[in-house]
A = this chain, B = another copy of it.
Amino acid sequence: MTYAAPLVHANPSPPSVDVNALVECIQACFDCAQACTADADADLGEPRIQEMIRCIRLCLDCADLCLATGRILSRQTAFDLATARATLHACMQVCKVCGDECQLHAQHGFAHCQTCTQACRRCEEACHTLLALLSG
């Protein structure tokens, strides 16, 4: 159950970009923030935590940027194109680096890193799509 789609439509200010791409990006950002927060914690509980340190750090960064991006994209009033683009670029960047790191651990059998990889890849792609539409 999600509220992003009806809220985009009910906002008195029309969205500045394709609605489907916007809704997907908002949802991907919030979902990735949750996944990264949970994955950082799962890493913290692993016996061989020394190997998870970079993953924890990048997950914390990724969660912070995904939340900022998800909140900014949820606003349609007085939209500022340059801010949206710079934010999407930063979010895409951290999702790429964090997703790469999580994938390494997923290949070593950590299921929580596998799930987090999916969240990061999806968010990176959603940001990329939106950025392309906003740069057209």
- Give chain A's interface residues, CB within 8 Å of chain B: 1-4, 6-13, 26-27, 30-31, 33-35, 37-42, 44-47, 49-50, 53-54, 56-58, 60-61, 63-65, 67-68, 70-72, 74-78, 80, 82-83, 86-87, 89-90, 93-94, 97, 110-112, 115-116, 118-119, 122
With known contacts A65-B68, A93-B82, A57–B77 Cβ distance under 8 A: yes
In the complex, chain B residues whose CB is within 8 Å of the CB of A4: 34-35, 38
Q: How many copies does the complex hold?
A: 4
Instruction: Name the residue in A4, A74, A111 with the highest tally of chain B Cβ atoms < 10 Å from its Cβ.
Output: A74
Instruction: Name the residue in A3, A33, A35, A94 with the highest tally of chain B Cβ atoms < 10 Å from its Cβ.
Output: A3
